[in-house]
Amino acid sequence: MTDYSIGVDLGGTNLRIAAVDEQGKLVEKTTLETRVAMGRDHVVSDMCAAIRQLSEKHKAAGKLLGIGIGVPGIIDMETGMVRESPNLPDWADYPARTEIERRLGTRVVLENDANSAALGEKWLGAAKDVNDMAMLTLGTGVGGGLVLGGRIWHGMAGMAAEFGHTTVEPDGALCGCGNRGCLEAYASATAVVRMAREAIASGAAPGLAQAAKSDVEFSAKAVYNLSIQGDQEARRIFCQVGRALGIVLSDMVNALNLPMYVIGGGVASAWDSFAPSMFEELLQRSMVYAATSPEPSHGRGASAKVKAMGTKKTVVTRAVLGSDAGLYGAARLPLVNGS
Ligand SMILES: [Zn+2]
């Protein structure tokens, strides 16, 4: 007998569903298209049908322990309502948990997708050997998740860990949240493309201009490709990404003193291009990081003042589960965060 849970990663494009056993072993995974344009009832029907199919198929093998669903948006954790979801506009103020539980007759846990990804990396990924960790997911936006004592930290209204909306430039670029100069406006895929377009408009980025002209879907990946070929402007943009990350991580390390900070999402593939400036900022700005850094001090800012302490180290590292982090984390939800 292998008892298992089912995790759902509800994205704006794909609906991914996995049965995972208690040890984190994948039992079966299935991917459907999220038919957003058909409306939420269709999406929920598709999801419930796929979940039923999976649980029917594996019911002889073990007990279904619950269902966790990662949703891109703000969730009211008490009522299980989706408050707001930019990728699923007609889900706003929708009592998703009640509706899905009614259809399936099984307990369901809803969670913000960035929190699910953090829980996935904690359970089976980069942070599996620590109990406390924070994660930044660098995608279209910048998501944040905080896991304390193995459980997601929600805060009062389920809105904790919005690290993507901490300010790095007081009068900087306007962010979708209404603030100026958020981390998201400097370290998301959207921000990389915006900074590249600004560089092109200034006339000082011939390499980027050429790439944008020949590629209608000019993306953060195209900017990264130029950066690894040595293009100065593309490299400068990823230095800026690293600087913004380093500023926010310095505040996080000073405030939280966690053993591990994990960076995931598509933009994390550009790690080699942004990590040097990120670590430079960390050593410079965070006395807690300077005292616990695995790297040697570079002797400026905080790291000039603070001596290395003991054997406890602050690790800032890449995520290892890729796009499966949110899926595994969702499957973990009914096991740890559902009570
Ligand atoms: Zn913001």
- 322-337 per-position pLDDT tens digit: 999 999 999 999 998 6
Rounded to the nearest 10 degrees, the angle between the axes of helix 232-256 and helix 189-201 is 140
Instruction: Name the residues around ion ligand 1, CB cutoff 5 A.
Output: 165, 175, 177, 179, 182
pLDDT attached to residue 2: 84
Lowest mean pLDDT among 20-24, 79-83, 85-89: 85-89
Distance 141 CA to ligand 1 centre (A): 9
With H, G, I as helix, E, B as strand and everything else as coil, classify residue 75.
strand
Residues in the chain: 339
Residue type, 96: A
Distance 186 CA to ligand 1 centre (A): 10
Distance 177 CA to ligand 1 centre (A): 4
Distance 180 CA to ligand 1 centre (A): 7
Distance 174 CA to ligand 1 centre (A): 8
User: What is the band of 298 on the pLDDT scale with cuts at 50, 70, 90?
Assistant: confident
Distance 163 CA to ligand 1 centre (A): 9
Contacts of 162 (CB under 8 A, 6+ apart): 144
- Per DSSP, helices labelled H in 147-268 are 184-187, 189-201, 206-214, 220-228, 232-256
Distance 73 CA to ligand 1 centre (A): 14
Distance 114 CA to ligand 1 centre (A): 15
Distance 176 CA to ligand 1 centre (A): 6
pLDDT tens digit string along 219-246? 999 999 999 999 999 999 999 999 999 9
Average per-residue pLDDT in the chain? 95
In this prediction, residues 118-138 reach a mean pLDDT of 98
In this prediction, residues 98-104 reach a mean pLDDT of 96
* CA contacts within 13 A on the Cβ side of 323: 11
167, containing H or E segment: none
Residue type, 53: Q
